[in-house]
Structure 1
Amino acid sequence: MRNGIELDGWVITTDNSAGIGCKELDVVKAPDQLAAKFAARVALLEQWAAGSEPEAVLVHNFSGDAQWLAYKAGIEEIFQEAEMAVPQIGGSSETNMATLQSGIAVTMLGRQQRFVLSEPLQWFVYGKPLVGKAVLEQKKAVADLKKIRTAIRSGLAERIWPIGSKGIAAEARKLFGETASLSADIDLAASAGPACCVLLGVKKDWVKETERFFGEFLEPLIIEKEEGSV
């Protein structure tokens, strides 16, 4: 798992943002609903990476009561995009102090429901690494949550691994080791922001089906270790 905890079958994942929102001193001006949506997107993808489905969502809202409904709507939107039932959403808002910048953390709790394979797989990058305004300007290049969930549930995708701000190469080496040699027809060092792209691992005899299903913005990732190809 990329950024979470596994405990007795429970999977806990989280993501946060600060200085992103509608407050005067926010570094990045963006709708509060959008800030919550992308934080929830990362936490959801990390649930799937661990073979889990979220059963509850906790929101840590440091922005104030006025932002709560927008944050909740952003989290609901991400589940609607994935065509999932929205789990219970609870949490807490800072009401004692008026904060000058926005801040939110989204935590998801789920039960592991599928075994995550470690056998040799064919790997792909799905989506483009995007950050900032490019996320909104190139929406079609952002990995589609509905497609990812369909691929997981159908067995087409055996593993997924979300890519964040450190880029594809940094995340891939967590899976394949620091000495792995990586190549793809895509920038492996570029930030993927709020998990705009993911790594997909599929069985090697399902490559053609994977290419047909995901279509555009799917690139093979070639991984070579010292002992040979993966």
Structure 2
Amino acid sequence: MSQFRDLTLLPLSTTEQLVIACDSSAGIGAKQADMVSVPTEVMSAYCLRVPLLELLCFGAQPLMVIDTVGNEMQPTGEKVIAGLRQELAKADLATLPLNGSTEDNMTTITTSVGVTVIGKSALKQRKQYSSLLVYQLGTPYVGEQVVAHLDTIFAYQEVRRLQRIVGVVDLLPVGSKGIRDEMGQLAATQKLTPKWVVTDDAEFSQSAGPATVLLIAIVPAAQAELQCAFPTVRLIAELEAK
């Protein structure tokens, strides 16, 4: 068993491995003491979005979703499940099995949910590059900002389109740690050093909530194709050999 960024990798054979990702949400929902008031279905959908994107960007095929709801089944648990199923449908994974549990012994006044996604992928040998360009897709949003910009947040279909571009070598969803921290992880994975093209952007230290930003690492030769296919991306860093 090994760790890759926020993923746990468990070998199944000499050619395949399980890939496991998880996320949690608390204080966001429709209960009386929640800090951010949003429909429960929206909260659970975006809680699923984070680990689901992590698996898809790694190239894994999701196999099942597990939800751990720290609230009663009716109505909160049912709404959580409805939100999860809506999000799976958006990702063209509507038939993926769900399993989970709820808290029906205690009365709760805040919403709490944990989501685990289990997938499978081929064992990989990572190629070493001498230089890469890193682009940003999306804007960091958190809390009520997410609700206000639901229509502009990048979709799963865009991730799949990016994966079909030959020169795209790495995709990394950005969550609560922010762009700057995730750039460090991306550079470490590629064994390269980041050189920021944009140096003074306050966005880089902000939380991107439920993965509202995607970092895209490409070989320089793919720059024109990427910018043509995704005109809203912006170049934020170069990765160079140490």
Work out whether the TM-score is over 0.5.
Answer: yes
Q: Retained in 1: the 8 A contact 2:165–2:226?
A: no
Equivalent residue, structure 2, for 1:129: 140
Query: Measured at CA, do residues 147 and 180 of structure 1 come closer, stay the same or move farther in structure 2, by a change above 3 Å?
Result: closer
Q: Which amino acid aligns with 2:133?
A: Q
Equivalent residue, structure 2, for 1:144: 155
Counterpart check, 1:166 vs 2:177? yes
Equivalent residue, structure 2, for 1:63: 71
Q: Which amino acid aligns with 1:192?
A: A
Equivalent residue, structure 2, for 1:107: 116
C-alpha separation between the residues in 2 aligned to 1:13 and 1:104?
Answer: 14
**Uncovered stretches (5+) of structure 1, i.e. residues with no partner:** none
Counterpart check, 1:13 vs 2:27? no
C-alpha separation between the residues in 1 aligned to 2:153 and 2:24?
Answer: 19
Q: Paired residue for 2:7, among 4, 7, 16?
A: 4
Q: Which amino acid aligns with 1:206?
A: A
Counterpart check, 1:51 vs 2:59? yes
Moved >4 Å (runs of 4+): 153-156
Q: Deviations over 1:89-110 (max 9, x none)?
A: 1111111212221100010000
Q: CA deviation at 1:117?
A: 4.2
C-alpha separation between the residues in 2 aligned to 1:201 and 1:80?
Answer: 27
C-alpha separation between the residues in 2 aligned to 1:205 and 1:128?
Answer: 25
Q: Which moved more, 1:86-95 or 1:207-216?
A: 207-216
**Uncovered stretches (5+) of structure 2, i.e. residues with no partner:** 12-16
Equivalent residue, structure 2, for 1:222: 237
Q: CA deviation at 1:151?
A: 2.2
Q: What secondary structure sits across from 2:205 in the alignment?
A: coil
C-alpha separation between the residues in 2 aligned to 1:155 and 1:83?
Answer: 23
C-alpha separation between the residues in 1 aligned to 2:194 and 2:218?
Answer: 19
Q: Paired residue for 1:209, among 217, 220, 225?
A: 225
Counterpart check, 1:25 vs 2:41? no
Q: Which amino acid aligns with 2:83?
A: G
Q: CA deviation at 1:226?
A: 7.4
Q: Retained in 2: the 8 A contact 1:14–1:105?
A: yes
Q: Deviations over 1:1-46 (max 9, x none)?
A: 4322111110110000011111111111111101111110001111
Q: CA deviation at 1:81?
A: 2.1
Query: Measured at CA, do residues 128 and 104 of structure 1 come closer, stay the same or move farther in structure 2, by a change above 3 Å?
Result: same
The two structures, once aligned, show a CA RMSD in angstroms of 2.3
Equivalent residue, structure 2, for 1:73: 82
Q: Retained in 2: the 8 A contact 1:50–1:116?
A: no
TM-score with structure 1 length normalisation?
Answer: 0.88
TM-score with structure 2 length normalisation?
Answer: 0.84
Equivalent residue, structure 2, for 1:184: 198
C-alpha separation between the residues in 1 aligned to 2:49 and 2:123?
Answer: 20
C-alpha separation between the residues in 1 aligned to 2:104 and 2:152?
Answer: 38
| Count of residue correspondences | 226
Q: CA deviation at 1:153?
A: 4.8
